[in-house]
Amino acid sequence: MREALQLAAQGQGAAEPNPMVGCVLVQAGQVIGRGYHAKYGGPHAERAALADSSGQPTRGATAYVTLEPCCHHGKTPPCTDALIAAEVARVVIAQQDPFGLVDGGGIDLLKQAGITVEVGLLEAEAKRLNAPYRKLLATGRPWVIAKWAMTLDGKLATHTGHSRWISNELARERVHRLRGRMDAIVVGSRTAQLDDPQLTVRPPGMRTPLRVVVDGEATLSPTSQLVQTAHQTPVLVAVKKGADAQRCRVLSDAGCEVFVCGGEGHAARLDALLAELGKRRLTNILVEGGAGLLGEFLKLGQIDEVYAFVAPKLIGGSGAPSPIGGTGWADMSEALQLTDVTIEPLGDNVLMHGLAGGNFTKQ
């Protein structure tokens, strides 16, 4: 099962919005087939493992699968049919699939076919792997990854707003690899104004993320790199009700999609944006700042994962922004506690990564 989980993780960035799934076939104590869901719309892990068995007899074999086999017709036929046809004797499943068209149905079909089914082996690890998939199903909201680069004294930029470059080249390369598996990259209007970013993946990755600017008043400049490249790489500008119609029209005419977020107040509008991205089945989104926007995500309880790049630089300044702004919490007991923390050296920079997805990473 651990090998199946390692296989499943290879689908990260390509399998979404489907879950990452791995499968290992074992016959008489020997592995005869391995497979994983390599790409959305492609063969599922069970069928890939059966194909990898290269004609070896599968009758009586055991299939170790990280997620309950599907039992419905989607982009591919049911995996339960393939396992039953292969005459496997036993299926060991890490976790039941919470997707409504499966959710125990695959297990029932396998049992009805006389196959022994066991559920729960390394369940916690399997659930952690597919936490973004589970969150999208349960809440209709994508998995939110907060990312920032800061100095050792905790600053995103100088007091004048200058920030290029805090991190080193290795760290920036790491960011582009991260971007390459995202469905969307999100920034606030001030970040778009000060940094004039492209928010593209260089070199191109597995996905081409939607570029999102949270810009209540539709102030994004028509001459910005984002707007100028909107016909090549999609841009969504999230505005509030009552945003200037002429400015919205200019952005639309330039190729941007203007989405009006309903609700009163920043938090309600941000939640409306997340709900819209969820409707589009965007699984992973990367929030790159600025401090005000990250502060809103924190207060909304919508930071699920963090990538913090730290450079050995000191710039000082009480007016220099820190990574997360807003009002923050009043008591240390309210602080968002990261788990599964790892520290990765990148030359003289350091990447601290941790999870904050609550029940989606634990249960």
Tell me the catalytic residues.
46
Residue 123 is assigned to a ligand binding site:
no
C-alpha 118/C-alpha 304 separation (Å) is 30
Residue 165 is assigned to a ligand binding site:
yes
Helix pair angle (266-279, 291-299), 10° resolution: 80
Residue 291 is assigned to a ligand binding site:
no
Q: How many CA within 13 A on the CB side of residue 192?
A: 29
Residue 339 is assigned to a ligand binding site:
no
Residue whose structure tokens are 């593209």: 200
Residue 58 is assigned to a ligand binding site:
no
* 83 neighbors 46 (Cβ within 8 angstroms): yes
DSSP state of 351: E
C-alpha 173/C-alpha 223 separation (Å) is 27
Residue 202 is assigned to a ligand binding site:
yes
Would residue 196 be called left, alpha or beta, if left means φ above 0 and alpha means ψ between -120 and 50 degrees?
left
- Strand, coil or helix: what is 172? helix
Residue 252 is assigned to a ligand binding site:
no
Whether residue 290 has a cis bond before it, omega within 30° of 0: yes
* 243 neighbors 260 (Cβ within 8 angstroms): yes
The single-letter code of the amino acid at 288 is: E
The single-letter code of the amino acid at 264 is: E
Residue 79 is assigned to a ligand binding site:
yes
CA distances from 237 to 45, 202, 273, 319, 361 (A): 37, 22, 10, 28, 31
Residue 163 is assigned to a ligand binding site:
yes
* 10 neighbors 37 (Cβ within 8 angstroms): no
* Residue 359 in tokens: 């029940």
DSSP state of 87: T
Residue 342 is assigned to a ligand binding site:
no
* Binding site, annotated residues for NADP(+): 149, 165, 191, 195, 199
* Binding site, annotated residues for Zn(2+): 44, 70, 79
* Binding site, annotated residues for substrate: 163, 179, 202, 288
* Binding site, annotated residues: 44, 70, 79, 149, 163, 165, 179, 191, 195, 199, 202, 288
